[in-house]
Amino acid sequence: MFNYIHVNSETNFIQSIVQVSEELSNPEYIQTRDYNDSIIGRIFISIDENGVPVLAPVVVVDPQDKPEFWWIDVGAFFDRFGINKWAILQSDDAAVKALITDTSVRRYIDLKRADLPGALQILVAKGFELDVDAILTAPPTDEERHVRL
């Protein structure tokens, strides 16, 4: 039996591994010593002298390092105000209304946006008890996130 990895010629991703009874001549199929399906999806570099694929290292990215990790749905943003949410949403104060309007027209709230701490400080200055740091730094839950990672 012959083992082959199927390598995409444009991306070098290993698409599959096959075991066949005859040798293959397709350049996208590279003979390998072992049948190891755990390498599917990895990036192929070469075959070593023992017939073992040499693969690019796996890079693990912390989801919190991605900007979209910190994008939450607008409703989830208001939920972070806790018991103050309804009082804020009902406020007649012009600055509070402006903040509500500004956030409500957005598709999501970027908790890392540079002007957001100042905007929340407006609410604090108006007498609403908010933990601004917790609102902005608590990692979003799966339910809150605008983009599912």
Domain extents for the chain? 2-55, 63-137
d(CA 68, CA 98): 25
In this prediction, residue 116 has a pLDDT band, given cuts at 50, 70 and 90, of very high
What is the rounded average pLDDT of the residues 113-122? 96
Confidence of residue 148 (pLDDT cuts 50, 70, 90): confident
- Rounded to whole angstroms, the Cα distance separating 136 from 102 reads 17
Strands 53-55, 29-32: pairing is: unpaired
pLDDT of residue 58: 85
- Residue 102 tokens, joined: 């500004």
CB 35 within 8 A of CB 19: yes
- Under the banding of pLDDT at 50, 70 and 90, the label for residue 65 is confident
Across the chain, mean pLDDT equals 94
Band (pLDDT 50/70/90 cuts) for residue 22 is very high
Q: How far apart are the first and last CA of the chain?
A: 40
pLDDT at 109 over 90: yes
Q: Beta-carbon neighbour count of residue 87 at 10 Å?
A: 15
Res. 59 pLDDT band, cuts 50 70 90:
confident
- Residue 113 corresponds to which tokens in the numbers above? 């946006």
